[in-house]
Amino acid sequence: MRSIIVFLIFISMNGIALKGFSQWKSFRMGPKGDTLDRIDMNGHKQGPWVIKVPDLRGERGYEEEGYFENDNKEGVWKRYSLIGVKIAEENYRWGKLNGKQYYYTYNGGLLREESWRAMDPKVAFDTVNVYDVNNPNIVKDRVVVKNDGFSMKHGKWMYYDPYEGVVTQTENYWMNKLRTGDDEMVSDDDIRPLSLATGAKVVKTDTATKTKVKPKEVMEYEKKNSGKKKVKTRDGQTGY
């Protein structure tokens, strides 16, 4: 009698498991028996995923883990080197970078901290507060911005000496615009080549064109990194 009961329980448990697996077009079993890398019946990535990228043409490989919702990264994603050192921790909303992001060297030292703002893909425009550069508790203005379909640099960016752990540079952004010390806002599209007369960047405005000296921290950073390999501009979108 006992053997019959055990057999029926076994059949029942396997039936439940098969019913759960039937909602996925494909998946793989994790080391703890959980389902990973799920593709639902509509062909969308869902739930926990682990993505492995091998070394390629001199670029180091990595492994990252997090959650997908309908093909979009959502929540916290962590990236590791192929030997297990954490090299990034990113936060996503609607498949785009949102909030604080942390990047580390391959030795584990904190390299920089970024701040992004994702836009809800269901809305064409959004209203965003403009805070006082000297007092972030004071709202100076509320501005309507167009949703261009990607994340924007928004908030404080901090760069670190990965060996000493001290801050070497800070930048403040408002919706992809760099805020200068006197609370001017400068976007990449507004900066022209160097002025031959002054050697400073020329910034466009709605009423006139004026010469604007970049913040001391930005100039020091560009001088320090002038001979280094250029990297692509980040727009907050994920490649998956």
Give the chain's domain count. Answer: 1
Task: Assess if residue 100 is contained within a domain.
Answer: yes
Residue 156's closest CA among 188, 135, 179?
A: 179
**What's the confidence (pLDDT) of residue 173?**
93
Three-class SS of residue 33? Answer: coil
More confident residue, 180 or 105: 105
Give the list of residues 6+ apart from residue 222 with CB closer than 8 angstroms, or none.
Answer: 214
**What's the confidence (pLDDT) of residue 4?**
52
Task: Assess if residue 194 is contained within a domain.
Answer: no
For 119-132, the pLDDT digits (tens) are 999 999 888 888 88
Q: Indicate the residue type of 5.
A: I
**What's the confidence (pLDDT) of residue 1?**
53
C-alpha to C-alpha distance for 166 and 191, rounded to whole angstroms? 30
Environment class of residue 153 by beta-carbon count within 10 Å: exposed (0-12), middle (13-18) or buried (19+)?
buried
**What's the confidence (pLDDT) of residue 186?**
80
Task: Assess if residue 219 is contained within a domain.
Answer: yes
Task: Assess if residue 86 is contained within a domain.
Answer: yes
pLDDT confidence bin for 184, thresholds 50/70/90 = confident
Q: How far is CA 101 from the centre of its chain?
A: 6
**What's the confidence (pLDDT) of residue 180?**
83
**Could you tell me the CA-to-CA distances from 161 to 79, 106, 108, 113, 164 in Å, in that order?**
20, 14, 12, 12, 5
pLDDT confidence bin for 20, thresholds 50/70/90 = low
Flag whether pLDDT at 60 surpasses 80.
yes
Helix (H) and strand (E) counts for the chain? Answer: 2, 19
Is residue 3 within a helix (H) or strand (E), and if so which, with residue range?
helix 2-21
C-alpha to C-alpha distance for 157 and 134, rounded to whole angstroms? 16
The boundaries of the domain holding residue 69 are 23-118+150-180+215-224
pLDDT confidence bin for 215, thresholds 50/70/90 = low
Is residue 218 within a helix (H) or strand (E), and if so which, with residue range?
helix 216-224
Task: Assess if residue 172 is contained within a domain.
Answer: yes
Flag whether pLDDT at 72 surpasses 90.
yes
**What's the confidence (pLDDT) of residue 127?**
87
**What's the confidence (pLDDT) of residue 208?**
38
Q: Which residue has the tokens 């039937």?
A: 22
Task: Assess if residue 189 is contained within a domain.
Answer: no
More confident residue, 15 or 121: 121
pTM: 0.70
- The distance in angstroms from the start CA to the end CA of the chain is 53
| Phi-psi sector, 199: left (phi>0), alpha (psi -120 to 50), beta | left
**What's the confidence (pLDDT) of residue 200?**
45
pLDDT confidence bin for 15, thresholds 50/70/90 = very low
- Check which CATH number belongs to the domain holding 113 and give it: 2.20.110
Q: Which residue has the tokens 């039936």?
A: 15
Least confident span in 61-70, 122-131, 176-185: 176-185
**What's the confidence (pLDDT) of residue 102?**
98
